[in-house]
Copies of this chain bind each other. A is one copy, B any other.
Amino acid sequence: MMLKPLGNRVIIKKLEAEEKTASGIVLPTQAKEKPQLAEIVAIGKDVEDVKIGDKVVFKKYVGTEIKVDNEEVTICEMEDILAILE
């Protein structure tokens, strides 16, 4: 990732489809809603609770969207990241 978030921010790439893990399937509640699953693609120097590659659930309607190498990513605060898929 050519973008380094500042402080306690992370950059996430939203996951369009359902996410299958060893223990099951995670889906946004309603199919038509914006997906709320994402992968962490960059972390600021103060971030402690997630690492690059983590799949996470985030709060809707947060962050700043930007296009990097034709891919949309979102810069958001760590407090907008709610849970990690294990």
Listed in ascending order, the chain A residues whose CB lies under 8 Å from chain B are 2-7, 9, 11, 21-29, 36, 42, 49-50, 57, 59-60, 64-70, 72, 75, 78, 81-86
Question: How many whole Å from A82's CB to the nearest CB in chain B?
Answer: 5
| A6–B10 CA distance with the chains assembled, in angstroms | 14
CB within 8 A of A64: which of B26, B82, B85? B82
From DSSP, what is the main secondary structure of chain A's interface residues? Answer: strand
**A86 in contact with B2 (CB, 8 Å):** yes
| A59–B42 CA distance with the chains assembled, in angstroms | 18
**Top 9 nearest A-B pairs by Cβ distance?**
A24-B69, A2-B23, A27-B67, A29-B65, A5-B83, A75-B82, A3-B83, A4-B84, A29-B67
